[in-house]
Structures are given as C-alpha cells and as structure tokens.
Structure 1
C-alpha cells in the first residue's frame, strides 16, 4: 500500500489549482461559471512561435536536447536580457527549464539544506514556500502592507535575516497584487543585502513586460550589479508571450549556481522539448509589438475591474501597477453571512461561497499569505469581467449581519 513521504503529506494543494479544479467541476455540471482563478493569458501564442515549432519538426530536431538548453534559444535569451534589461550575460549564466516553476525547484533543490530559511514577502505566489518546504527549507514571511503598496520594506527584511537565511525571494511585478518595486525600493533592499553576504536573491521577473501607466520594470541586477554573484533571475515565455502550455522558463545567475541547477535538471526531466524551444526562439526574436498590444489590453481591463470593485460597498482595492491581477480586501465583510446562509469566517469561506452561489471562481488571499483578500485575474474577456464583477456586486449586496 502506497504511503506518501511525511514531507509530501504535509504539503497542501496550491489554492490556485484547487479553485480552478472546483470551477471546472461546476462547469461540467452545467453551471455558468466564470473562472478568474488562474494566471492564464487569454491570448493565442504568437504566430511566430507556432512557425518556429513547425520549423523544428521539419528540420528533424526531435532528439534529446542539451540539458541547459539549445544554443539558439540561449543566444536569444541573452539578447533578450541585453535588449529588454540592459544586462550583458554569458551563455554559461543561463539555463532553460520546464517553465519558471522548474527553475525555482532546481534552485532550491541545489541549495537548501534542512532548516535553511527562505524569506518570502507576503502576499506571495503560492509555490515559493511550498517548494522550499519540499527540500526542508523554512519559509519566513515578511508582510507587505496594503498601505505600502504591497512593497516589502527593507528594514522588515533586515529584521528576519538570520545565519540560517539562504534566500530572499522577490517577485515583482507581483503575483497576486500587481505591485512593482521602484528604484528606491531596490536600492534600500540592496543595502540590506550588502550587510548579509550569505543571502542569495531569487528575482522572479516573469511579469516584467506587463507594467502600466508608463512604468518600466527594473531588475535588482540593474540597481546593484555588485551583487551579481548572488542574484538568480527567473523568467519565461508564459505570461508576456501567452505561451503557458509550451512550458519554457529560463534562469540567469552566477555560473556555479547554474551548473548545480543543470545537475538537478539532468537527474529529473533532462532537456526541454525541442519544438517548444524553437518556438520560443522565434517569439523572442519577433518584434515586441504583440507584447505591447497585450499590455494595453490588460491596462484597459484593469481600469474596468478596479473601477467596478471600488463601487462595491465593503470592498477595498489597491490599483495594481503590473501583472494582470486585482487584489480586493474583504475585511468589512468577514464574519457576516452570504445570501445562501454560509458564514463568511474568512476569505476562504468567502471565495467558496462566491463560487458556489454566484459561480465566480477566485482565489482567497490567505493562500498567498495575506488575507482577507481575493485574487481576481483580469486575463479574461471584457464581457466575462463585466459579468463577474456584476455577480460579485450582487453577491455582496446579499450579505447580511
């Protein structure tokens, strides 16, 4: 009889996946569910990516690929860092992974020993603490307050650094809040890191191209090049290029760390699908006009969603500066009852009631380490977003003391 390991048995299913699964169940039952639970762009992958993958097939490139990635893709990634970020990187600082999540997995497996600490500003993407725990790491949360724009304060980070601290995770533009870091934020964090030379930084920049109001993403490596031997950048094709199913992520970091991560990958999945790599080369080399068009669409949808949420009495909603999520607060509604009689003890109960009664799938903020909030993805059509916001408004109107 199978018995899961103790470590695996204690890991919960990521809330984003659980809520999306329940939404699919209800939809299969004929319920008119609108799912805003997953970070899934609602755009097709670029035509250039499709052509690039087909070209790989026609060229017969269907054998085992190099574990770090095929040279044309590594060169395209290096050019992307030069073009988009003003960073010069060598090919031995790069590797290609099965999505950004595997890059995180590789890095933590390569570096964490039992009891090592990983500082994770909250709200955070659900997988950072879960993956750290898989390898015996101890997540250490630092609350990023709504009144601070959900940005981590440097002194709060300093206070939780210990001799066991191994990593600081920075994910900006942020999932789930859409917060970004300004130069002053990065400079303050860099100053803290200079006093803690044993701490590595994982900078997840997967949403770098999705910033609003004329803002531009700035990497910690731009601000603090002296910390280059301690910074690992995570990125990939899924969000800005709408290539989630292609499973192509990449990492850029110090050569010794990248070599260790390649060793991990060589003993798990090995190299990445050659067809996906060819498509990624083509997408990265294409004019970025398609990315700009997506960003403009998301910015317009942001205005639609945030405007509607701010009209609902009992909700608060900070304006996201990037990514494609809104993160409304629910404090005024916790402890009350839904029209269907459910007691809304916390944001989990709120999200479950919203799904079951109004058929709108979201993710409770407590899953991201910071509640009571909801995460709503506005990577959906205008019609779906308008209907979802109307259903949410009706649901809230039905709440009683």
Structure 2
C-alpha cells in the first residue's frame, strides 16, 4: 500500500472514531477538566496509541509518520487537549522507554501503553526549574538495590491519569547536566503522590498536575546513570517535531472555521469574505501555513532517516507555534465580537494555542538553540 493511501485510510478511520467517541463528549470533558481513562482504552483498542512501537509489544509497527498523522487529525478537529496528552503518551513516553529501557522495562510498560491500560507522563518541570532543567532539585539517592527518589514536579501533562511517569532527578547534586538521571516511576509506588489538577486558561480537558515523591524506591534508572540530560537532548527532536505537527493541524482547523464563517458573516451588505482585508489576510496566513507544512514534512523525512538535528527541530517548533498563535489571533479578529464568545470554537482555539510557545521549550529557548548553531 502506498504511504499516502495508508495515511488517508488512517485519517478516515480516525475521524470516524472521533465522531463516535469524542465529539459528543468533548465539551463536557472540557468542563470536567479531564479526559476519562475509558477513552484511552478505546484508543488502544482501535490501534491509535504508540503506533510506531514494535509488533512484539502489540503495536502495529508503523512509521513515525503514522503517529504524526494521528496528532494532525485530532488537532484539525479542534481537540487540542487530547492531541497534546496523546502525543506525550505516544510520542514522548513510549519512545523513551523503547530507546532507553531494559528489556524488562519494555516488556512491563510498552504493552500497557499500547493498549491504553496505562497512561504515560513525563516529569521534568519543577516550581523553580522550567526551561533550566539543570536546576532541578528532585534527587535520587543510591540505596541498596536501587535508588530512593524525593522531590516535586509541576505542570505535568497526564499527571492525574498517569500509571507510569518518567522522572528527571539529580543523582549527583553538584554534577550539573552530567549529574541527572531519568527514572520510570510506577504511580502505585509508595511515596508517589498526585497533587492538584491545575486550572489553566486553555487545554481544559487535558489534565495537568503537581506530583510529589517521598522516598519512592526504584531499582534502576531509565538509560544510564548520570546521563539523563544527554538522553533528554537525544529525544527532544521528536518531542518538538510532534508539537510542530500539532500546531499546523490546529492552524488548519482555525483556518477552516474562519473561511466558513467569513462567507456567512455580513458587513456593508456583503459577506466579509468579499472584503479585501479579509481576503488578503487569509491569503497571507494560508501561504505561511503551507510553507511551514513543507518544512515540517521535510523534518519528518529527516527524523525517519535518523537525520533530524536538534537545531532543525527547534526551528520547526519555533516557526509553527508562533504561527499558530498568529493564526488564532488574526482569525479571531475576523469573527468580531462573536470570536470572544465561548460558544464559538475559535475562542477555545485561541486559548489553547498560547501554551504552544511555552512548553516543549519556550520560543526564547528555541531561538537560543538556533543561534548557537549559527555562531558555533
């Protein structure tokens, strides 16, 4: 089967799934502040979780492009919170385990992530350590037969629902970037405590939590001891690329609803789509989306070939997320006062977009990474 045909079939089947399992309930989930665990099991049963994991763990053994298509389709439907939480599960947590885990760790967790029996989270950010990950205070002390982890994390996507969490902790208190390790924590472990489901201005149905660890015992790290920062740098290109994919899907959703609305809304005796300002603005945004899409498609090709560099992924993340916020802002303007009303989906798209320039590395951090590449 041609890759394009496979992607088209995936999009069709996923849209049917969303019509049945998400569309009737998403508004209520936004009010509840969480997506139910039952949806994760439904996603797993339908084969939409961790699609590029190996068949031996129960996945389809597909390509990263298929995983990206899932995030793209969900984002195009306007379900940004679901897209983000699912991408953390399938495109961050599962690959970390697949690339860094022991065979025992992979055997234990990957099948459950693929079926949706367990939801994955990754815990890096702390109250006083966001972009500066080297300043984290969560520590992992060596004990007999393993490590004891204590500390706290915040802004953790999937934190309420997660059954397994990748946690960054200091194994050498004065070691800087070379004294950090990653650990797989079972949420059922003694000393693992889930804090508040944090209230955000957007992505309301995507649970985001505080997490607390008090002498949580683990046998071994995920990957090598004291090499957590190195492992993070190796995996960040995929994380930033999938954020770029979601950003462009969201842009497409915003543009589609705006194109439809401007052909219906009347001003000065005609649809505002007939006004030059509307036409020129949408022409400009459409062009920028397509240019960014071409770049992201190139990045996907490079990732699948094992050639995507951190700088290139940072450029994709910077460009697409900045564009998403621009598209959301300028399209909302074309809705006039109605764009400010919660009953219009453009208002949710506007609020959901803002975080894109912050998590996964702020736009400022992306610029610094790119600048270092320029002046190396």
Q: TM > 0.5 between the two?
A: no
The normalised TM-score by structure 2 is: 0.28
The normalised TM-score by structure 1 is: 0.27
Q: Between Structure 1 and Structure 2, which shows a larger proportion of helix residues?
A: 2
Larger RCO (CA under 8 A, 6+ residues apart): 1
